[in-house]
């Protein structure tokens, strides 16, 4: 089947630390991959996406590279800020499907 | 341009009561979705629609019904609420499915006692 596995949180980092949130996937076809972010009390917002192997999605200092050989889409940021505190979701959709598949989310707290 | 809106924002129901959650989008999107979010389980798809007048079941459809009579609206109904339906419900819409992002509403927090 289709599924997304994220590293479990919560993750707590000091400001300016390096962030990695791991995401791996299983897909029966060819997926597009996404990272969504949810700030407290809000709905999810698209952070970045990649639609084919070796593509790199980037936004607001976050990056993720679509690695088909390792079925991974790890999220990274070189220097986190307090304002990055949120829950991050990895997701996929197949090129033949109508449904998104979300990971369970990883909570990030950045302390000053 | 309001994006995706949800009504109501909060609701408390007693077991057995019914209610309808309304989702509206003003982006002329074809696809609309209803998810529930529970701690430790991420988002799970309840029902979705690929166009006006069409609906389909998602991962956890039992106990819910939906309707898409107008392209801009997607209604989620609970006919007989149960405590297991206590959750945060999110509506989303997208122009198409593959490679297009979903736009999410702010959520409805439902408590069933």
pLDDT at position A98: 73
- B16-66, pLDDT tens digit by residue? 999 999 999 999 999 999 999 998 788 899 999 999 999 999 989 999 999
- A45-90, pLDDT tens digit by residue? 999 999 999 999 999 999 999 999 999 999 999 999 999 999 999 9
Q: What's the mean pLDDT when you consider all of chain B?
A: 93
pLDDT above 70: percentage of residues in chain A: 100
pLDDT higher than threshold 90 for residue B100: no
pLDDT at position B1: 66
Distance from CA of B106 to the nearest CA of A (A): 4
pLDDT higher than threshold 70 for residue B98: no
Query: How far, in Å, CA of A20 to CA of A46, rounded?
Result: 18
Split at pLDDT 50, 70, 90, the class of A106 is: very high
Distance from CA of A112 to the nearest CA of B (A): 26
CB hemisphere CA count around A2 (13 angstroms): 21
Residue A40 CB partners (closer than 8 Å, separation 6+): A86
Q: Which of A55, A59, A66, A100 to mutate to test the interface with B (most CBs of B within 10 A)?
A: A100
Task: Tell if the CB–CB gap between B42 and A98 is shorter than 8 Å.
Answer: no
Counted across chains A and B, CB pairs separated by less than 8 A come out at: 56
For tokens 């690695």, the residue is: A67
Task: Tell if the CB–CB gap between B98 and A95 is shorter than 8 Å.
Answer: yes
pLDDT above 90: percentage of residues in chain B: 85
CB hemisphere CA count around A3 (13 angstroms): 5
pLDDT higher than threshold 70 for residue B99: no
Question: Which of B50-67 are b and which e, b meaning 16 or more Cβ less than 10 Å from the residue's Cβ?
Answer: eeeeebeebebbeebebe
pLDDT higher than threshold 80 for residue A25: yes
Split at pLDDT 50, 70, 90, the class of A7 is: confident
Task: Tell if the CB–CB gap between A93 and B98 is shorter than 8 Å.
Answer: yes
Q: Which of B35, B49, B100, B102 to mutate to test the interface with A (most CBs of A within 10 A)?
A: B102
């Amino acid at each position: 089947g289709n599924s997304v596995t994220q590293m479990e949180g919560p993750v707590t980092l000091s400001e300016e630390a390096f962030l990695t949130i791991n995401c791996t996937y299983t897909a029966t076809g060819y997926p597009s991959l996404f990272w969504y972010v949810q700030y407290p009390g809000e709905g999810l917002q698209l952070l970045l996406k990649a639609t084919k192997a070796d593509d790199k999605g980037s936004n607001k200092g976050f990056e993720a590279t679509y690695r088909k050989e390792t079925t991974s889409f790890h999220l990274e940021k070189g220097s986190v800020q307090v304002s990055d505190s949120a829950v991050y979701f990895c997701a996929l959709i197949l090129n033949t499907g109508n449904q998104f598949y979300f990971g369970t989310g990883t909570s990030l707290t950045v302390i000053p | 341009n309001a994006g995706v809106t949800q009504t109501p924002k909060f609701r408390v129901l007693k077991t057995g009561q019914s209610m309808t959650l309304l989702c509206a989008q003003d982006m002329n999107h074809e696809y609309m979705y209803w998810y529930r979010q529970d701690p430790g389980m991420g988002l799970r798809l309840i029902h979705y629609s690929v166009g006006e007048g069409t609906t389909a079941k998602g991962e956890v459809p039992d106990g819910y019904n939906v309707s898409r009579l107008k392209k801009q609206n997607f209604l989620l109904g609970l006919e007989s609420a149960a405590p297991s339906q206590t959750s945060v419900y999110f509506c989303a819409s997208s122009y198409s499915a593959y490679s297009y992002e979903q736009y999410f509403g702010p959520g409805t927090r439902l408590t069933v006692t």
